[in-house]
Amino acid sequence: ATPTSIMVGTGRAAQLGVLFRQGDALQTLHDVKTVALDKTGTLTKGQPELTDLTLLNGFTEDEVLPLIGAVEARSEHPIAQAILRRAERAGNVPTEITDFQSHTGYGVSAMVAGHRVSVGADRLMTRDGLALGDAAQIGADYGTAGKTPLYAAIDGKLAAVIAVADPVKPGTPEAIAALHDLGLKVAMITGDNQGTADAIAARLGIDRVVAEVLPDGKVAAIDTLKAEAGPVAFVGDGINDAPALAQADVGLAIGTGTDVAIEAADVVLMSGDLRGVVNAIDVSQRSMRNIQ
């Protein structure tokens, strides 16, 4: 590409709210075969709500909600905020907490008012030696509905299965359709449950799902997609997306995302949704065509 066509292209992109931090990215984007998307905060709003609560082993809502709310008050995960909001609506959330631990990709645990409390994915429960039994089916059903299943344990007993649902952003379905029209494959990379990720992907027509990825697994997922089908663009918003944004052939950060993600990206999407990705690729393809 000539310097002029790159200048014209980046200028046109800027008018559409797409900031190319690297002129190279305009050329590289033209060769991309797969667009990989982070789920939470990228495909979805990143503001989940607690939608379902199934109590187990004789526990009551009044026992469970304050205890799990208290642990989640210490976590910054969007799931934590959904659970805390629901707990606060139900009543007083204790503030007396000791031994808080955040188990990345698994969940959280702490001592609350004399009780040992943990909340997280199925793998957190099994890691702590708790068998899910019938609760596994309840969680699987939440997943099939596109909701994220979580489990709560109190004093070594399963106390509840919880579902949180994170609405898809306006613009996401159209953006995925437009990427397909441009001849690209669309993938989703997420730390979320496999069943939940599959349900959301099916609804949106996403071609490839990599789920239950631990934070450092996002980089490996990018490498796998590159090996399968050629150059990959990755779109993300979170701190845990920064290594994958750097590893992708082109990293695109959602402009409303974290500073760490924006700094790791080649392209910043000011609109805050995925229509910016389509604009970025469209401008890239036009710029490269003009000079041929």
CB of 238 to ligand ADP, least distance (A): 6
Site for ligand ADP in 241-280 (CB under 6 A): none
Contact flag: residue 172 with ligand ADP (CB under 6 A): no
Rounded distance, CA 276 to CA 292, Å?
25
Q: Is 80 near ligand ADP (CB under 6 A)?
A: yes
**Which residue lies nearest ligand ADP, judged by its C-beta?**
191
CA triplet 250, 271, 176: central angle to 5 degrees? 60
171 binds ligand ADP (CB under 6 A): no
Exactly one of 38, 166, 266, 273 is catalytic; name it.
38
CB atoms within 10 A of CB 45: 18
- Taking the least distance from each CB to ligand ADP, the nearer of 212 and 282 is 212
Among Mg ion, ligand ADP, none, residue 249 binds (CB under 5-8 Å by kind): none
Angle (nearest 5°) at CA 144 between 228 and 35: 30
Are 203 and 229 in contact by the 8 Å Cβ rule? The answer is: no
**Minimal distance, residue 161 CB to ligand ADP, in Å:** 12
What is the distance between the alpha carbons of residues 137 and 37, in angstroms, rounded to a whole number?
28
Q: How far is the CB of 257 from Mg ion (least distance, A)?
A: 7
3-state secondary structure 9-48: HHHHHHHCCEEECCHHHHHHHHHCCEEEEEHHHHHECCCC
CA separation for the pair 177, 274 (Å, rounded): 11
Among 27, 40, 81, 190, binds Mg ion (CB under 5 A): 40
| Residue 166: active-site member | no
* DSSP string computed for 45-114: -S--EEEEEEE-TT--HHHHHHHHHHHHTT--SHHHHHHHHHHHHHSPPP--EEEEEEETTTEEEEEETT
Does 44 participate in binding Mg ion (rule CB under 5 A)?
no
Choice from 9, 41, 143, 251 touching Mg ion (CB under 5 A): 41
User: Residues 222-261 vs Mg ion: string with x where CB under 5 A?
Assistant: ---------------xx-----------------------
Task: Give the angle subtended at the CA of 205 by the CAs of 285 and 44, to the nearest 5°.
Answer: 85
**Site track 23-62 with ligand ADP (rule: CB under 6 A), x = hit:** ----------------xx----------------------
Both tokens of 199, joined, read 């349900």
Among 8, 215, 220, 226, contact with ligand ADP (rule: CB under 6 A): 215
**107, 257, 272, 276: which one binds ligand ADP (CB under 6 A):** 107
**Residues taking part in catalysis:** 38
Binding site for Mg ion (CB under 5 A): 38, 40-41, 237-238
Binding site for ligand ADP (CB under 6 A): 39-40, 72, 75, 77, 79-80, 105-108, 119-121, 148, 150, 190-192, 215
